[in-house]
Amino acid sequence: MEFKLIRTNRKTVAIQVNPDLSITVRAPRYASKREIDRIVEKNEAWIHKHIEIIEKNKADYEALNVEKLTSEEIKTLAEQALKLIPQRVEYFARQVGVDYGRITIRNQKTRWGSCSSKGNLNFNCLLMLAPAEILDYVVVHELCHRKEMNHSKAFWAEVEKVLPDYRESVKWLKEKGIVR
């Protein structure tokens, strides 16, 4: 099975099926190619399952015959996001117990949101097309990065304090949240 290998200072191997159906494997610098190949082979069923999910989601999306958004529609979504998202960030920042920097709204192709080490928050204007609970989850997710700049157990515990059913939102994003 072909995959793009990225070596980093991480401790574990992570396998990612990308929207274009390519596979990315992130591995510790010290892991041998043989060990990485073994892990990928062991997870082949998981990889194929996720390829099928992405293909089904793309087919469902295309079956809806959704036209691409015009620049005017994207501009309108961004304006709506600029009004709503800062309110949601302010509300949830108090619950999480963190402060934050600048809030930026973008039309990103691969991310729903991000948090910089300086505390600046970025959100995708396409969140305005998602259910309200998904928008709230993305806001809480990014705010929890103000406490934990990773996806450790401690990070997920912070998310769960605010949104005990956050796993439903994660599932929705994986199944229906293709960002183009």
Q: Per-residue pLDDT tens, the chain, 180 aa: give them.
A: 899 999 999 999 999 988 788 999 999 999 999 999 999 999 999 999 888 877 776 765 555 434 577 888 889 999 999 999 999 999 999 999 999 999 999 988 778 999 999 999 999 998 988 888 999 999 999 999 999 999 999 999 999 999 999 999 998 888 777 654
Residue 92: predicted pLDDT: 96
Q: What is the pLDDT of residue 179?
A: 54
For residue 25, count other CB atoms closer than 10 A to its CB: 21
For residue 32, the model assigns a pLDDT of: 95
Residue 149 CA to residue 145 CA, distance in Å, equals 5
Q: Closest Cα to residue 180, out of 61, 46, 43, 15?
A: 61
- Residue 129 near residue 177 (C-beta atoms within 8 A): no
Total count of residues recorded for the chain: 180
- Residue 120: name the closest of 149, 97, 100, 141 by CA: 100
Distance, in Å, from the CA atom of 139 to the CA atom of 132, rounded to the nearest integer, reads 11
Cβ neighbours for 54, distance < 8 A, ≥ 6 positions apart:
17, 19, 21, 178
pLDDT at 79: 94
- Residue 66's pLDDT is what? 41
Q: According to the model, what pLDDT value does residue 20 have?
A: 82
Question: What integer pLDDT is reported at residue 64 of this predicted model?
Answer: 46
Q: How far apart are CA 11 and CA 81, in angstroms?
A: 37
